[in-house]
Structure 1
Amino acid sequence: MTDRPTRWTRAFRARRPTGSRTRRLLELHLAVIVLAGIVSMTALLVSYREVQNAAGEMRTHAAPAVQGVAATQLALLRAHQEAQASVDSGIDEVVGAGARYEAQLSAANQGLSRLSDVQIDGERGRGVLKTVTGVLTSYSGSITPGTVKYVDDNLMQRQKMSEAKRLLDRPGTGVVPRLDVLQHHQMRRMSRISSLGPLQATGWAVAELGLLVLALTTLSALWLLRRRCGRSLDAWLLPALLVALALAVVPLWATVGTQERLDTARHELVRIEQRADRHADLAEDQSYVTRTSTALHGRLEAERWQSWTYYGALGGGALIILLPVAGLSRRLNADYYWRAG
């Protein structure tokens, strides 16, 4: 008896090339989605973490370091101003006349102690602070006798006050010029921390481009399933598409908000440095630095949702890879595609 192919066999053979092409297209879509997901999420998570770390560094070290140097300089200059005023006005013999000078000098010493923990100039900065502490000890050894011990000896008093002033502002080796050098280095470091560099910008471009490729590929896969598999909506691919859109918007939005705070902080710190350098009205400059520092600390505090965005992006990154893998693998493992492939 002649073995004739059945009608089902002839229909299956006629449709086999179409099924094979569909399988290859689904496999290609799956590979592109996985690759785009891995690349985009790696770039996004690294870039987002860098910006958040920069905000933390500004809040805990850079801003306090710049503010601390400015406040210490102003306190030292104010201390010398108060001491000189008491000598010039002839009230240095009055009991308690040096209280304001001593308070300012004590504030400067406390500022130097705090700076050792927050300064951002590394080993070089620690060396500067160590030297400044030694010179400041010598300054105290000159200014105190000038305002207390030699009140009846004008010649020695003037000599001690002149010696103290040289220790305070002598170019290159005085306390204030050394702090100026430290501040200059810290300002450069602070600008690098608070600015979005080319590498970070490239990372965000790669992340957004990768998410765009992933979204377009997911749309193409949905269209393919609709045209060749008769499925209008896929319960796995559609959520992955929505998550990808959210990942393209929310972390970038949070980063823009953080970067705006960093830019504002950088401008405020530049103004603080300028007020400390001008020496026009020391009392007003001190008040400005204190007010601005307090306000700046509050602005640098990260909002809770921005802190948790990283972990949300991490979970979303897993979903945009696992959901398409589960959905397309389910279609690829169906009996028809297995036989047709």
Structure 2
Amino acid sequence: MFKFIRISTHLKKCSALATAILLSACGGTDSTLSTGNSELHVAATQIIDNTIIPAANSFQQQAGILVSDSAHFCSTNNLTESNLTALQNQWVETNLAWFQLLPYRFGPMVNSLLLPTYTYIDGYRLRGTNYTASVRTKIDSLLADTSTINAATFSSSTFQFVGLLALEVSLFEDAANQSTTKADIITEYQSNPRKCQLLTGYANELLRRADIIQQGWTTNYRNTNKSYRELIINNQLDSVLDDEAVESAIKEITVSVQEYFDYLGLRDITLDVSQISSSVWAAIGSSVTNIEELLNGTTNTTISLNKIMANNRFEQTVAILDENISTLRTALDTMNTVDTVAAAKAIDGNFKRDIPDALNINLGINFSDGD
């Protein structure tokens, strides 16, 4: 059962009045708003440092391991079923790391005036289009072709033909019959050397995109020689980039996470994504774990969003959000698509209105259906 919180304007005003009276009685001031903004700025900074950047680091690291494991697999005498199993497991780990980062679709995840960086990793997120059949056809044509396969083959590719899906198709089935039997997959790799060229090429292109995101967060965003972390925390985006401005880090984070749950609620993700590897439920669970950390904080957090909401007398918001997340967890554990969609929509509603109310922020967005 999903719960929503709606508190009338009258009650909010009464609460604010009571707070002001208490502050006055204790010798405080009426600078509640500036204090709240300061807390939110600290919380947003800690979310970036303790949750988002570690997720970007993890995805980059897992993609790097995938590159190494792919090269090892394709080395002489290493095309074995045990090595394939290890490589498939590493793809799953890389996909889990991606889903930790996926809720933060802004800044380095976009990083372009043209097609966003994330689409070259996860083409499904853009419009909810399942490109599996198209990727299979593309791999078939590349295997049958005689043209040279090199880095440009992948860096110049359109978004739907590279990324995690291309790697999943390459690793979890053979191109000839779409067999998921390991022996058949190994046979194809052994009989057609181009299959390994595709595999290692896809892996290296994935790492290249992961590097762009990680470096954007930590060292150099859009050739500014400043990290996105520095720019957004110090409110310098609009002074450095004419086409980019963010009102505040906390609003950007909140809207992005809300959009992620909107995406889960509107798209057929449990039916279309990570199907060959049978890992979609764990992938979504990885996102949920990361978002719980965003709300609760880490061992390095001094002020979490949940703490701020509770301090603002919105303990019920925190409790009902926890309940909705728990319901989503159960839906994922039981692999229930209907309940997963319903739970995602409930949490989407929490992030649209209830959490901003509890944090005393105005997202300034007229929400409508659609991701």
- TM-score under structure 1 normalisation? 0.33
**Which structure has greater helix proportion?**
1
- TM-score under structure 2 normalisation? 0.31
